Structure 1
């Protein structure tokens, strides 16, 4: 078991609930004692509070998989990671879901999006659950005598910045609530904050905490490289977010991670997505992960969703992947992903690239003629609940951690920035791309191959199903419009153009009702 994840079910964790998460006025958690009283009685309580914040990105609530931090939101459907996959991967080219749940079809077909879609609400609510919790703990630390409180505050500010990053990326605007609001109280609804205002806040926060954040911490907690990776990702997409490119800054921070972080590529790609990826070679590459444990941190919304959702006994040997039951049978990749390795199942099987082998092809068709039919498309077996090293015990819930940031992404970000003219070394960029490829036994490329189209494809081969594909496609100008089509884009089998409106999601109706200062995104 993972030491940090065991703390997720602790006394301090159980004290927090927050009801009206779309209401930015409601920033005070309902607790039996004030946070200041808790910290005054036991300064070590800060570790339980931190555990709660980390858990908010991976779990649904404090009392197991059936509990929810968010009143009214489904405990199984609403966790943060589950909705990042829903909104980032199912809306993009590489993955589709067949369940047809209310709202999920809209994501899978990138069509008929509206403010009533519960999956937009789930992510919005989760973000505005995390942010007030962070604000209140920062205020409590300011008013209590806790050793190393500045280090703790830097850690909390990172988590708050990460929550705001998803508001910037997914919704384009929101409200900006900080510890000043928690300390003073709010009598009126907060004004709407623009994408640029939120960008500037997140940038300033991350720059402010970079020096104060330690280079190394215990696994699963924030370190300096995690701060730098979030900065690099923010800068990489800055032209989309603000209209002004910051590729040179993205290159700078990716290079800092590479040169100073002490990370190395795991020799085996599969180890990064196995049940023991919290140790050994995988831990040397993973910079920051959302933790999972099949016993003490169970959730239907962490990597359990990724593993079980991609398996079904109808066509697969489910127990090979370390889970009990017959699988949930929801997710399949499309040829927009596995077609990057070859144009048929036989071509995938013959490919030397180990990443090409991470699709279940037996009994399934290469073409996704109907996204609701299980055997149309190849399930991804990138994630599994089996250990890479040693024996495994099958469990219902996954113990595989989710890599939010890892070194291979830093390598590919560096290369992209070089190709975009941000400086850096073309020789080094080519070396980094080839390190990523050769790790999976893919052939090395030459400098003439390294262009933006190749980088987008390589990011798909390496990083699909890791919660960033939609963002990548938008940055490359290939998400909306009709220049790049994929299966079921726009609700059509071979794809059709979708409006530029879809580059951001609609603000949920519940958020608009809670704060009259919020306005809907154009086109919805």
Structure 2
């Protein structure tokens, strides 16, 4: 009987990492799917291609490896009791991580599983006659290229296979880069321009092509002393950025933080994103990852608090203060958005449930919020919620205020619960059924501001066209007009552009890739002095190496691990 791969019903074979590496999958015979239309079969094959994307972007997976390994984020052993995790976050930040790091393993496995599902879809969709199958096929091929791009960026390897039953071919360096490029180019013509940010669209492919060309020098020669950015690659960056900008389909947001609101799925700045809408059981956990355990953003959920997770490093914070001195960096609307009126009107400490929103952006100093006693929020005589100065009640230290400090490090004092300025970029979901885990804000992968900044960088790298690069950067800055936009810059070079990318794209999981491309990943920052260029990529998880040991030479560990 003819076999049909049907990923919606057949689970990918996940019995071990080796099976993921080989991209094996189970199959069901066609009797198992009898009675389904070609449209239902097409839908059933494309859905699994996207299904694990939210898991990849979980706060302890892709976010951790892309941010905590950089000068933007640091996660100490909080209070000597929280976030210890056998030192994995300390090691990730200090570039002393090993091949047994569980977050690296989780990210590897999720990427491998997503590749497997993509291969299944690419093999099945051509056999279906529904008109949707052709677009779905392009999406599956584009997503396979995207997952391969993440695998190359993180681990320096790409797995290539077309026959689901065959072993994957492993590519590295320029061969891996060329494969991803060819797949994106092949998928792009058949992609839809209007499927929304949660799917692989024509605009998403253009954005990923621009990003791929921009990082081509890194992917071709990972350990180069100095990367060679070829003019032809930079021309391609500009070409694909132009396609996005000139399409008229996307728009820079007047309100910076609306890009990260819980209803952001229709925000026109998003080009490609992880679809986290409530009806899809979104799992965006970035809203609570960084904030205090005594910050409760939703009156309806007295158990939905922060985790006292990562803070920004003093080094990253000082990039803001040095840029705006003697003014406070809050003059830039991307840095901070004040929502609690108690700051400007201390007497206004009773807030209706519908009016309560915690502050957004980079949070410093004394924090204010809902006051919680014995598991319940205090109420004012009129029934509104009492808002006031927060203390470490949940840490059984009710007399110690929640004051976020600039200094944070791995010392006992620097690892306390309130050390480090925190980030509240994504909004807590008011539609969530739990208030904490089911965040429904789409997570940005490519957005229009990044496209302008990529185009600016390509112009600088190709011909030092500072005037055009400056115009692109100032276009992004001038767009944030809901409040007073940041002042226009008057000069532009690569260091200033790197700083600007840090201001615009912080906490968006591009920092590690940026630092490597700009030659700053071997630098020194808070608690990090390691300058080994081999740390530009992560180790292949040891379980994957062990699982492939029956094929000698098949999967070789990256250098220095």
Q: Structure 1: any 5+ residue segments left out of the alignment?
A: 1-10, 60-77, 490-495
Q: Deviations over 1:150-179 (max 9, x none)?
A: 2211010111111000111011124322x2
The answer to whether residue 255 in structure 2 is matched with residue 268 in structure 1 is yes
Counterpart pick for 2:521 among 467, 479, 485:
479
Counterpart pick for 1:382 among 391, 407, 425:
425
Counterpart-to-counterpart distance in 2, 1:49 and 1:322: 37
The answer to whether residue 268 in structure 2 is matched with residue 307 in structure 1 is no
The answer to whether residue 322 in structure 2 is matched with residue 327 in structure 1 is no
Tell whether the 8 Å contact from 1:269 to 1:355 is kept in structure 2 after alignment.
yes
**Aligned residue for 1:194?**
172
Q: Deviations over 1:286-337 (max 9, x none)?
A: 00110114464153xxx21x111112243x4533899952222212112233
1:501, distance to aligned residue in structure 2 (A): 1.1
Match of 2:423, SS?
coil
Which stretch shows the higher mean deviation, 204-213 or 400-409?
204-213
Counterpart-to-counterpart distance in 2, 1:218 and 1:344: 36
Q: Deviations over 1:446-474 (max 9, x none)?
A: 1xx20000000000011011111000000
Distance verdict in 2 for CA 1:328–1:120, change over 3 Å: same
Superposition map of 1:113-262 within 5 A: 113-177=97-161, 179=162, 181-182=163-164, 185-186=165-166, 189-243=167-221, 245=229, 246-260=233-247, 262=249
Counterpart-to-counterpart distance in 1, 2:301 and 2:310: 17
The two structures have a TM-score, normalised by structure 1, of 0.82
1:133, distance to aligned residue in structure 2 (A): 1.1
Match of 1:319, SS?
coil
**Aligned residue for 1:416?**
457
The two structures have a TM-score, normalised by structure 2, of 0.76
Counterpart-to-counterpart distance in 1, 2:206 and 2:474: 23
Q: Structure 2: any 5+ residue segments left out of the alignment?
A: 1-5, 77-82, 222-227, 337-360, 367-402
**Aligned residue for 2:53?**
57
Counterpart-to-counterpart distance in 1, 2:558 and 2:443: 31
**Aligned residue for 1:6?**
none
1:119, distance to aligned residue in structure 2 (A): 1.6
1:368, distance to aligned residue in structure 2 (A): 1.4
Computing the radius of gyration from Cα coordinates, the structure with the larger value is: 2
Choose between structure 1 and 2: higher strand proportion.
2
Q: Deviations over 1:35-56 (max 9, x none)?
A: 9956964432322332222121
**Aligned residue for 1:520?**
557
Distance verdict in 2 for CA 1:356–1:523, change over 3 Å: same
Tell whether the 8 Å contact from 1:229 to 1:405 is kept in structure 2 after alignment.
yes
Counterpart-to-counterpart distance in 2, 1:291 and 1:348: 38
Counterpart pick for 2:488 among 438, 444, 450:
444
Counterpart pick for 2:501 among 444, 455, 459:
459
Match of 1:226, SS?
helix
1:444, distance to aligned residue in structure 2 (A): 0.0
**Aligned residue for 1:488?**
527
**Aligned residue for 1:360?**
363
Counterpart-to-counterpart distance in 2, 1:350 and 1:478: 23
Counterpart-to-counterpart distance in 1, 2:236 and 2:542: 36
